[in-house]
Every structure is written in structure tokens, then in C-alpha cells.
């Protein structure tokens, strides 16, 4: 496959979605072939699965059901969008991917990283991102940012405790240590401009190298 698959990861309120949008705009301005997408979702079927997972009334959702639904949505997104875009040589910027499942379902929901990795490798047939940006922020700070922007979509996971968000952050740090070649950490506690600059420097290096 000839495109580049770059994923954006991190806890709540790290600003990754805003940064992703800006990086997308800049790559487009440079005339690059670029696609922006997100998980769970990114295709009609996968967006429907997203609605089931994130529905605030679905309080009985079992953790393994949730993990399987994320993997199912990922499979459909990959088949319909990621693989075809890579084959056509696009740079794909994806808001969350496999690492979100390892962290949220594997660690925070306590299923185990290896178990969750297994069902995900089944779903993706082993396809991993070329590079992953991990936007790191203290949960207290991230949640305060979300509270300041109350018009954001509210979902079931926003109800989680602070402890849950700390587990998420620690789990991302562990993954980063295990896979330093792929996962690049960005300090998201800086100003948005600084975070965008650092991300842009990294993405430019990766995309220019690939040409």
C-alpha cells in the first residue's frame, strides 16, 4: 500500500480533533491528497454502530460487547475507507484507532490489552497505523477544557470517573514505551498554537520522507 495512515490519539479534552482539522487544512493547502476520518465511525454502517456504543441511555452495555462493537465498526471503516484510500495513495488522518481500544477497553475497562489486541488484529487483519500521535494531557486539565466548551456532543464515556481517565492516560504512556517507533507523544498542555506547530513539524517530516 502506498498511502500513509496517521492516527490521532489521547484522552478527553486533549484537543486532538481541533489539531487534526488544522493539519488536514495545511496538507490540503500544500496540494497533498489527504482524507480526514474518525472512529468509531467513518462510514455509514460504522457510524450506526457508533450511535449504539455512545448512546447515553445504554448503561447496561457489557465491556466485551463494547469492545466487539468498536472492533466491528473498525473493520467496516477499514474495508470501506482506509484500505481503498491507502491504495489510492492518500494520507489518512484518523481521529482514534486501535490504540483507543487497547487503552479504553483493554486497560480502563480491564479486559486486558492482549485480549483486545487479538480481536482487533482479527478485525484489521494486522493493519497498523504508519504513525500515531498521542496528545498527552493531565485528565483534570482535559476535563476542565471540555467543561468550558459545553456545546460539545455529550456521550456515555463522559460520565466516567477521574480515576478512569488517569488509567487511560497511563495506558497511553505504556503503549508509547512499547512502540516508540510508531507512537509519537505531544505535550497537549501547551497552547493550541504550540501543539499545532509541534504536530505540523512532525507530520511534515513524515509526509515529506514518504514522497
- Looking at the Cβ atoms of 85 and 101, the one nearer to ligand TYD is 101
- C-alpha to C-alpha distances, 152 to 14, 36, 146, 179, 208, nearest whole angstrom: 14, 19, 8, 32, 34
To ligand TYD, the closest distance from the beta carbon of 205 in angstroms equals 25
- Looking at the Cβ atoms of 104 and 172, the one nearer to ligand TYD is 104
The alpha-carbon radius of gyration of the chain (Å, integer) is 16
Task: Judge contact between 24 and 93, C-beta under 8 A.
Answer: yes
**Which residue has cell 497533498?**
32
Nearest-CB residue to ligand TYD?
A: 104
To ligand TYD, the closest distance from the beta carbon of 2 in angstroms equals 25
φ/ψ (deg, to 5) at 36: -115, 135
To ligand TYD, the closest distance from the beta carbon of 168 in angstroms equals 8
> Which of helix, strand or coil describes residue 151?
coil
To ligand TYD, the closest distance from the beta carbon of 31 in angstroms equals 28
To ligand TYD, the closest distance from the beta carbon of 181 in angstroms equals 22
- Looking at the Cβ atoms of 31 and 126, the one nearer to ligand TYD is 126
Interface with ligand TYD by CB under 6 A: which residues? 12, 17, 39-40, 70, 95-96, 100-101, 104-105, 153, 155, 157
Contacts of 77 (CB under 8 A, 6+ apart): 37, 39, 40, 41, 42, 43, 46
Q: Which parts of 125-180 fold into alpha helices (H)?
A: 139-148, 162-178
- Looking at the Cβ atoms of 32 and 113, the one nearer to ligand TYD is 113
- Looking at the Cβ atoms of 35 and 116, the one nearer to ligand TYD is 116
Amino acid at each position: 500500500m502506498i498511502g500513509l495512515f496517521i492516527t490521532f490519539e489521547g484522552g478527553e479534552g486533549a484537543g486532538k480533533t481541533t489539531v487534526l482539522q488544522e493539519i488536514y487544512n495545511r496538507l490540503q493547502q500544500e496540494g497533498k491528497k489527504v482524507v480526514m476520518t474518525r472512529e468509531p465511525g467513518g462510514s455509514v454502517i460504522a457510524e450506526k454502530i457508533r450511535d449504539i456504543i455512545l448512546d447515553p441511555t445504554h448503561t447496561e452495555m457489557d465491556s466485551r460487547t463494547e469492545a466487539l462493537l468498536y472492533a466491528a465498526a473498525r473493520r467496516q471503516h477499514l474495508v470501506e475507507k482506509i484500505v481503498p484510500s491507502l491504495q489510492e495513495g492518500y494520507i489518512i488522518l484518523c481521529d482514534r484507532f486501535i490504540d483507543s481500544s487497547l487503552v479504553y477497553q483493554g486497560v480502563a475497562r480491564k479486559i486486558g490489552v492482549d485480549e483486545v489486541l487479538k480481536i482487533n488484529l482479527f478485525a484489521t487483519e494486522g493493519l497498523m497505523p504508519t504513525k500515531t500521535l498521542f496528545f498527552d494531557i493531565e485528565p483534570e486539565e482535559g476535563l476542565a477544557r471540555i467543561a468550558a466548551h459545553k456545546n460539545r456532543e455529550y456521550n456515555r464515556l463522559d460520565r466516567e470517573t477521574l480515576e478512569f481517565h488517569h488509567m487511560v492516560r497511563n495506558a497511553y504512556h505504556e503503549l508509547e514505551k512499547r512502540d516508540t517507533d510508531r507512537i509519537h507523544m505531544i505535550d497537549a498542555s501547551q497552547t493550541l498554537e504550540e501543539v499545532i506547530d509541534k504536530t505540523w513539524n512532525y507530520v511534515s517530516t513524515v509526509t515529506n520522507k514518504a514522497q
